[in-house]
Amino acid sequence: MYETLKSVQQEYVFSGATKSSSFRKQQLTKLREMLTQHEDDLLKAVNKDLNKQKTEAFMTELGNVYQEISHAIDSLDEWMEPIKVKTPVSHTGSKSYILSEPYGSVLIIAPWNYPIQLTFSPLVGALAAGNCAVIKPSELTPHTSSAIAAAVRATFPQELVTVVEGDAKTAEALLDQPFDYIFFTGSVAVGKIVMRKAAEHLTPHTLELGGKSPAIVTEDAKLDLAAKRIAWGKFTNAGQTCIAPDYVLVDENVYKKFMKKLQDHAYSMFSDRTKNGTYTQIVNEKHYDRLYQYLGNGSVALGGQYSREDRLISPTILTDVEWDAPIMQEEIFGPILPIFTYKTSAEALMRVRSLPNPLALYVFSEKEQTQQLFTEQLSFGGGCINDTIMHVANPYLPFGGKGPSGIGAYHGYESFRTFSHQKGMLKQTTKFDMPLRYKQGKLANKMIRNVFK
């Protein structure tokens, strides 16, 4: 069944139907209209799955996608233009350029933590590049998955965009097919499986994974603002964000002041929502049980309340955590934030480097020299200076990981590039023919060497 679906989509691309700028813009416009028309259904669905409230859900699920669509429509003609490049003297008479062509039928495997945004944001790039797409939403958010499927089926023909619902076995069956491109967002463990499957067909792929993303608070940082922005970035969506601050390194000289402000801001922003039942839920019992075990990995400085029945863990700050504790061995992906101190910048650099490259890094400092030290001396996917997670919402910035935190990037032009094969082209003149390349002998050898050197 999936083989037939993939073949139908590939034939649709081969027909040339998706190649024109006007067609692609039309599909992006249809996508925007679809999201607008089905917005209430999608927001209600994500509320049923994760208890996300309407304002937060719109901002973190749909707002970014609307921005991506508008940016793509406005920029598509420019993106599709052949890119002229220089031609060396050895190729006198010719012109060189790069053409972007769609891969064909692409497979998009979306996660559960932002099930709307992380389904449709890659789709924007796929459609802008002229591809067809098979979407596999997460079975862990079944209401949202069904709402996505219903919206897509009511909007797009199957040969252009279709949704396949199902569990891990469905994803595995899809990965057995030789799609032209695979875009996966999820855990490192599953990302490795996707990569192995892609290797069987030599399928190009993008992996958006995660990791332990640090926030570094220096002595000269504006502590109140740092605490406020870290608390918001960490505890939004119950910490189930791949680029949420995973732990904080704070200069020991301002530790006490920072901790007081962090506790105050976390409490003021989220305590009422925890009490009145409007705080985002942990996705399922399995993830809840994993996070519950982490609560014993340190001293609770704030929060620590929990309810397995409601899949709720309140925003929690931990101190006295050991670096080799279980909570520091994998991405937390929940509303628990360990706090560490450091004495010197060298120590902070060493601590971050002791862990795999993170997907994001956040530096809070008023000194440009300090900002440059951490952003230039550490390897990470992307990040912010004096803020958290806001870089992901800028369609003009590439978003992606490095090594264990991901392969490839997307958003804006990077999405177009990700879903396009770049063909290098040389157009040779027919007005004359350089005879040198056909010659043999010592003189020809000398002349050829002079040309290429």
Q: Please tell me whether residue 228 adopts helix, strand or coil conformation.
A: helix
Tell me, yes or no, whether 235 and 381 share the same domain. yes
Rounded Cα gap, residues 187 and 196, in angstroms: 14
In terms of domains, do 203 and 222 share one?
no
Position with higher pLDDT, 441 vs 38: 38
* pLDDT at site 6: 84
In the prediction, which pLDDT does 447 show? 72
Residue 440: inside a domain, yes or no?
A: no
Residue 124, C-beta contacts closer than 8 angstroms, at least 6 positions apart: 28, 31, 65, 68, 69, 72, 415
- Domain assignment present for 410: yes
Are 138 and 18 within one domain? yes
Going from the C-alpha of 107 to that of each of 8, 21, 113, the distances in angstroms are 14, 22, 19
**Domain contains 418:** yes
Mean pLDDT value across the chain: 96
Quick one: pLDDT at residue 449? 79
* Alpha helices (H) in 277-317, listed in sequence order: 285-294
Same domain, 406 and 345: no
Average pLDDT rounded to a whole number, residues 22-43? 98
Can 384 be counted among the known catalytic residues? no
Model confidence pLDDT, tens digit, residues 288-317: 999 999 999 999 999 999 999 999 999 999
The residue segments making up the domain with residue 197 are 2-209+402-425
Last residue of a domain, one of 379, 395, 411: 395
Residue 72 · residue 420 · CB < 8 Å = no
**DSSP alpha helix (H) spans, 276-395:** 285-294, 345-353, 368-377
Residue 452 burial (C-beta neighbours within 10 Å; 0-12, 13-18, 19+): exposed
Please say if 242 is a catalytic residue: yes
Instruction: Give every strand in the sheet of 95-102, ordered side by side.
Output: 83-85, 95-102, 420-427
Whether 361 is in a domain gets the answer yes
Could you tell me if 68 and 143 lie in one domain?
yes
pLDDT class for 263, splitting at 50, 70, 90? very high
Dihedral sign for Cα 364, 112, 421, 100, please.
negative
Q: Can you tell me the distance from the alpha carbon of 333 to that of 327, in angstroms, rounded to the nearest whole number?
A: 10
Q: Which amino acid is at 222?
A: K
- The continuous run of DSSP H or E covering 47 comes out as helix 39-50
Mean pLDDT of 139-153: 98
Query: Domain check: are 407 and 354 in the same one?
Result: no
Q: Quickly count: other Cβ atoms within 10 Å of residue 132's Cβ.
A: 30
- The reply to whether 315 falls in a domain is yes
Residues in a beta bridge with 107:
134, 182
Nearest one of 124, 131, 133, 186 to 163, comparing CA atoms = 133
User: Are residues 82 and 107 part of one domain?
Assistant: yes
Buried-exposed string 416-428: b where 16+ CB fall within 10 A, e elsewhere: bbbbbeeeeeeee
Six-digit token string for 26: 């039309």
- Among the listed ranges 2-6, 62-66, 157-161, which one has the minimum average pLDDT value? 2-6
Catalytic residue among 242, 331, 384, 414: 242
Residue 110 is predicted with a pLDDT of 98
Is 446 domain-assigned?
no
Checking if the pLDDT of 436 tops 80, the result is no
Residue 446 has pLDDT above 90, yes or no: no
Indicate the DSSP class of residue 327.
G
Query: What CATH number should be reported for the domain holding residue 235?
Result: 3.40.309.10
Q: What is the mean pLDDT of residues 368-384?
A: 97
Same domain, yes or no, for 303 and 410?
no
Q: Residue 3's pLDDT is what?
A: 81
Q: Does residue 355 lie within any of the structural domains? A: yes
CB atoms within 10 A of CB 146: 15
pLDDT of residue 234: 98
Average pLDDT over residues 113-141: 98
pLDDT digits over 155-197, tens only? 999 999 999 999 999 999 999 999 999 999 999 999 999 999 9
β 306-307/312-313 pair status: antiparallel
Give strand pairing partners of 184.
109, 207
Per the structure, how many domains does the chain have?
A: 2
Q: How big, in percent rounded to 5, are the helix, strand and coil portions of the chain?
A: 50, 20, 30
Active-site position among 61, 68, 208, 331: 208
Task: State mean pLDDT over 394-404.
Answer: 95
Mean pLDDT over 445-450 rounds to 77
> CA-to-CA distance for 48 and 289, rounded, in angstroms?
20
Q: Do 113 and 227 sit in the same domain of this protein?
A: no
What CATH code is carried by the domain that includes residue 94? 3.40.605.10
Please check whether residues 251 and 284 belong to one and the same domain.
yes
Say if residue 202 is in the same domain as residue 240.
no
Judge if 247 and 180 occupy the same domain: no
Q: How big is the CA angle at 148 (ends 142 and 150), to the nearest 5 degrees?
A: 100
